[in-house]
């Protein structure tokens, strides 16, 4: 690696030397930074494995003494979720996907292993019960549309007026949000979905533009369900981008 292609690495946390900041000002910087991030993810996984081993040891000691083990069991579960998160991040990096800023994106597919959509009951309007992704290990589950198929029934309300009520019934097959899109973009998106690494996929900007970007997101475990901008906390990866110069 020559000096020109080395990423700028700035330590950020004194007691965690494995963490750093990658600053890229050129494509060569991004390539070098990608290699650094893969090694970083691997070190994270090894560090968490050590934490799991320590917590497991404590769990065994508590079991032997017949003490309450709930705290250590929960701790192991949290560590295992974190380890799987970094495994997915590492897999995405190794498959050539670059991390991009966490822009709000318009989701069109989520990965789930549950059989039926989650329902909060019947709604007066259709399309108001979008589904959310589950945080699953890589390779598990299937991709479905965020919009489930709904059933409708008509009832008479207390005023004697007929109204329609809607309830999620079953998952639907995800559909790419743009009808006129080149085959190369669809293939890149399909390839990303076949890996089953990303918890959800979408496009940005969230409003349709002439030059959208397809992104995959890996959800961060052990965090509040909703973060800034009304979205779940995640790491976003670049999948594909296209632009038609006739629109410029």
Exposure on the CB side of residue 58, measured as CA atoms within 13 A: 15
Q: Give the H or E element holding residue 86.
A: helix 70-94
Which of 241, 222, 199 shows the shortest CA–CA distance to 98?
241
Predicted TM-score (pTM) of this structure? 0.85
137 burial type by CB count under 10 A (0-12 exposed, 13-18 middle, 19+ buried): middle
Q: Which pLDDT score is estimated for 11?
A: 39
Check if the beta carbon of residue 32 is closer than 8 Å to that of residue 5: yes
- Residues of the chain short of pLDDT 70, as ranges, are 1-17, 205-211, 224-231, 247-248
Packing angle, helices 70-94 and 27-64, rounded to 10 = 160
Q: Mean of the per-residue pLDDT values for the chain?
A: 85
Domain map of the chain by residue range? Answer: 3-96, 100-119+127-147+173-247
Check if the beta carbon of residue 144 is closer than 8 Å to that of residue 113: no
Q: Which pLDDT score is estimated for 16?
A: 45
Cα separation, 108 vs 202, in Å, equals: 5
Q: For residue 62, what are its two tokens?
A: 């508590």
**229 — alpha (psi -120 to 50), left (phi > 0) or beta?**
left
b/e code 22-39 from CB counts within 10 Å (16+ = b): beeeeeebeebbbeebbe
Q: Which pLDDT score is estimated for 225?
A: 59
Q: Which pLDDT score is estimated for 134?
A: 95
pLDDT in tens, 69-101: 999 999 999 999 999 999 999 999 999 999 998
Which of 239, 199, 202 shows the shortest CA–CA distance to 81?
199
The C-alpha R_g of the chain, in whole angstroms, comes to 22
C-alpha to C-alpha distances, 32 to 1, 38, 43, 50, 198, nearest whole angstrom: 8, 10, 17, 28, 23
Q: Which pLDDT score is estimated for 207?
A: 56
């Amino acid at each position: 690696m020559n000096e020109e292609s080395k990423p700028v690495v700035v330590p950020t946390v004194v007691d965690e030397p494995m963490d750093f900041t990658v600053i890229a000002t050129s494509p060569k910087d991004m390539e070098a930074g990608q290699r650094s991030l893969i090694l970083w993810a691997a070190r994270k996984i090894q560090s968490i494995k050590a934490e799991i081993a320590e917590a497991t040891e404590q769990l065994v000691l508590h079991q032997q003494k017949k003490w309450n083990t709930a705290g250590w069991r929960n701790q192991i579960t949290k560590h295992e979720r974190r380890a799987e998160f970094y495994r997915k991040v590492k897999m995405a990096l190794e498959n050539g996907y670059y991390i991009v800023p966490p822009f709000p994106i318009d989701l069109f597919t989520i990965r789930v292993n549950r059989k039926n959509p989650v329902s909060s009951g019947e709604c007066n309007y259709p399309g108001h019960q979008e589904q959310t992704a589950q945080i699953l290990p890589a390779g598990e589950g299937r991709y479905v549309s965020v919009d489930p198929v709904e059933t409708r029934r008509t009832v008479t309300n207390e005023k004697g007026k007929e109204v329609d009520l809607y309830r999620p019934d079953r998952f639907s097959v995800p559909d790419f949000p743009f009808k006129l899109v080149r085959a190369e973009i669809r293939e890149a998106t399909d390839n990303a979905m076949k890996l089953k690494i990303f918890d959800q996929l979408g496009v940005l900007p969230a409003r349709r533009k002439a030059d959208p970007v397809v992104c995959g997101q890996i959800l961060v475990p052990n965090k509040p369900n909703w973060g800034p901008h009304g979205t779940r906390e995640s790491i976003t990866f670049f999948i594909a981008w296209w632009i038609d110069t006739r629109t410029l």
